[in-house]
Amino acid sequence: MNDLQNKIAVVTGAGDGLGKQISLDLAQNGATVILVSRTEEKLKKLKEEIENAGGKADYYPCDVSQIEAVNDMAKKVLDKYQKVDILVNNAGVYFAGSFFDLNSEQAKKTIEVNTLGTIYCTRALVPSMKERNEGQILNVISVAGFEASGEYTLYTSSKFALVGFTEALRQELINTKVKISAIYPEGIRTNLFAGSGGQDVSKEAPNTLLDPKDVSEVAMFILKQAADINLSRIDIRKKIF
């Protein structure tokens, strides 16, 4: 396995939950982590936490649903660091409720963040990987990307689209050394559910949710593989005894 020393890693949705845990673990494994999310205060605190532990981090507040903001972030990162070795597309939103109960703004936001955010960040940063002919993309999707549920119609739709994007892009990159992988976790114990406007599943059934540390451990396993090994897809599920 490769170590992550001297790698430049961009993590979206880094302010909370899984994105925060992945950022901490990347830094612990020697990468310089570029923290990206909307809330500057959270990014600043995480940068300090990483640096206090001896790691390296930088941050760029950015709403990944806004293409101009993404392009600006990417330009600043590439101008400063000259490269990006790892892109973790993790930013996501979730609104609780049936398809017919959610409004058009919630529908729009779900697709803009969950689907277009990943597409925008990939378009902005991966061409530099192609030029160097090396790099890794890790898309955090969900089992909702291939297991449809009538309880999460909008969320499921945004994740199904990401599955198609990931698989098609893998084919487009097949003759390069740029790797693309995806993890498909079940529900994770994060603030995603608490901020959904509906039931806080993380409190209602905590034992059915994955720990962010366990999911991040899988992400590290993928990112540490040798350059000629591409773990394209890993489903992550909670085993209930």
Catalytic residue status for 81: no
Helix (H, G, I), strand (E, B) or coil at 236: strand
- Token pair for 195: 């901020």
d(C-alpha 222, C-alpha 212), whole Å:
15
Residues forming a β-bridge with 57: 33
Contacts of 14 by beta carbon, 8 Å cutoff, 6+ apart: 20, 22, 23, 33, 35, 36, 37, 43, 46, 59, 90
Phi, psi angle pair for 14, to nearest 5°: -80, -10
Residue 108 one-letter amino acid: K
Sheet strand arrangement including 233-236: 56-61, 32-37, 8-12, 86-89, 135-140, 178-185, 233-236
Which of these is catalytic: 59, 94, 152, 155? 155
Report, as residue numbers or ranges, the catalytic residues. Answer: 155
